[in-house]
Structure 1
Amino acid sequence: MTLFRGLSAFPLTPTDAAGHVQVEALGRVLERIAAAGADSVGLLGSTGAYAYLTRPERRLAVEAAVDCLRGRTPLVVGVGALRTDEAVALARDAEEAGADGLLLAPMSYQPLTEGEVHRLVLDVAGAVGLPLCLYNNPGTTRFTFSPGLIAELAQVPGVAAVKMPLPGDGDVAGEIARLRGMVPPGFVIGHSGDWGAADALLAGSDAWFSVVAGLLPEPALRLTRAAQAGDAEEARRIDAAFAPLWSLFRQFGSFRIMYALADALGLGRWEPPRPLLPLGPEVRARLDKALDRIAALSPLTPAQGAS
């Protein structure tokens, strides 16, 4: 399975104050990702505010993305929902609209058990013919996929990958090795947590599920390609240029910073869905300095852009 490997860029979903998807604005964001050559787009992930959008708006976003990308970049769509029937319906919507893969987070209000999540994955994977990536995001869902559960679900037809958070002990290489010993060959183990992407990729992670690549795809792709080539010095040089932005991500949350970043890049003044509030002007000066640091990187060469 190659769909979930490499750099997967997770964009914002621009909406108006009423939560309606702004199709033209979304297209501009996706065009940047496709032009940079990212390996896939992760639409309607946490950065894409999937949990705040209605089913019709999520369907509209998928249709707009398929129309914009026109097969140039594979499209992975988040289908997490509070109820299983809704997740199944969203998965079918994504498949019918032309998505290439699915990302499933176990959303909940009542804490979920491993048995409940196992059943959820079986139901969604069995309802469609698209490959599915498990979304292990305990910081948001409050559910942690144990290694044993990942190993069980990796045997389910259609379940092809897992999107992991950075390990709390920092031993990403050890975590990858343990999981690889439990899952079938070819099962994709990728990571989120942008500030740890260089370490994860250099340790052998198959994918970087990247927030920042949603708006800054080119430098994120450079970091990915350097790490994939085993060029630790170059990967860490690029990662160091991102350091001020990583600091903002960790202090304020990458979700909120991405809205400010879209404004700083001149892409649009979109606000996060309420009750979330936009960040104040005091963040902008730090963000501008962070962007200057990234902009100081030398231009991307054709060799670095090749997969």
Structure 2
Amino acid sequence: MISMRRSIHIISSVAFIFLLSACLILPAAAASAPGSISGKVAFNTGQAVPDGTIVKLVNGSNASDYIPGFNVTPDEKGFFQFTNVSEGFYRVYAWSPYYVEGYSEGLNVTTNDTYTRSVVLMAMPYYANMTMSTQHITYGNSADITVQINDYWGHSVGAGWQILLRSSVGILNPDSAFTDKDGKVYTSLPWVDNSTPAEITIFAISTNGSSYGLEENVEFVTPTATATPAISATPTASPTVAPNATTTVTTTPTAIPTATSTPTPGFVLIGALIALGLVIAFKRYK
């Protein structure tokens, strides 16, 4: 009888300890239950997410530290989800072929909740189209170089991308620059006392700080030919304007004055002249 009671007591004690352990373990397990992260990947140009896009979970404090086992492919609309995510600080990283990538904002996973984060894919530099002012640098001169940076689809990458410029002969000035609003950088290569052709290589700095080479295309500025002046056309003589016929002015004839008749000398005058002649003759013979 006593043995039976002892057995029942032992069984009751064991059951109590088991239940107590379960009560302690279950809340702890619930508190440490993993969370999940879902979201959407979108392209900054509005186009569809490229095929081959991959979404990864990375350390929120070190973007190059990928979390093993968290690597998914978004659906055709760009949606993705990570499950069984342990507590920690994370960021979501998305990558597409032809140097397209993006990061989400950081998030702390602390409870058995679903977190949402979106990733915007940004096309990175892919092509470097160089235009050089000359193919042969003469003593004391330099070649001016303009580099247009485009993405894989031929669109300008815009401002803010750091570009590294390297030459196998001489040093480009500058050898590092940021793209302007048109996606361009400018540099020059001075004359070097070396007959070896210079090979220029262009690199871009990615969003995670690593550098990679760009596909290059080189053009040389063709001097603008001086336009040959067009032969002046023989000027067309201005038509001589025939003067208007001079109007013949009809003059009013001047009236011929009527001649005044000369009076016939009178007898008084004749007599005076005779008398004067007699006086003169008398004086001569006196």
TM-score (norm 1): 0.21
TM-score (norm 2): 0.22
Structure having the higher helix fraction is 1
Larger relative contact order (CA 8 Å, sep ≥ 6): 1
